[in-house]
Amino acid sequence: MIEISSASDIGRVRTSNEDSYGVFSPAVYVVADGLGGHAAGEVASRMVVAAVHDMANEGQEIDTAALQSAILRANQQVLDASAGNSSYEGMGSTATVLHVDEHAGMAYYAHVGDSRLYLLRRGIFRQVSRDHSYVEELVARGELSEAEAQHHPRKNLLLRAVGIEERLHVDGDSFPLEAGDRLLLATDGLTNMVGDDELAAILGGEFTGLADRMVAQALAGGGSDNITAIALAYEPS
């Protein structure tokens, strides 16, 4: 059984919500954070969600490769739309997609950008995805600490995103699920405003209204960006 809690909010600063998200059967979840401004980012993030929706409805086996293919399809669609409309020039989006196969007890995911996938298991909270960002590369090379990365002036500079270039490498993997696992997909409007300890505490708490509580915490922290969260609670059937 999978319980789902989801929410999205424009935040306190932005004039439009360029985040998009989707919850589709069979157990497919996506968050996308649009880039480009002037509402073009919203167009790009919606195209990501639409491509994932189409993939979920095709009736094919859904694994990591299928999720990666959906993101690559969205990449081409965003590039084509940008080329055909000057107002869409430069638009793009992050993409983080998850599929839970309840029968196999497996989670499959794929992503580009800095929208994140987290896992809370037996009280241990960890980021499963790896940000495709300038500061994450510096951290990986040992040139920057995690604490320094939080306040780096170029922390929002992405190295990979949907709709930026033809050749896009989409990260992906899978892992077995355990009873009691909780998962979180989130855009950076949440993760930049709410620390890991707070996220873990909310994710491990009462499930009803969980995503709304995360959004409320991000708004209380300033709400400087659009905020989107999808939380899942997994129990084997």
> Is residue 151 predicted with pLDDT exceeding 90?
no
Q: What is the mean pLDDT of residues 131-142?
A: 80
Residue 204's pLDDT is 97
Other C-beta atoms closer than 10 Å to the C-beta of 123 total 8
Residue 141's pLDDT is 79
Domains of the chain: 2-234 (3.60.40.10)
> Is residue 149 predicted with pLDDT exceeding 80?
no
Classified as helix, coil or strand, 11 is coil
- pTM score, two decimals? 0.94
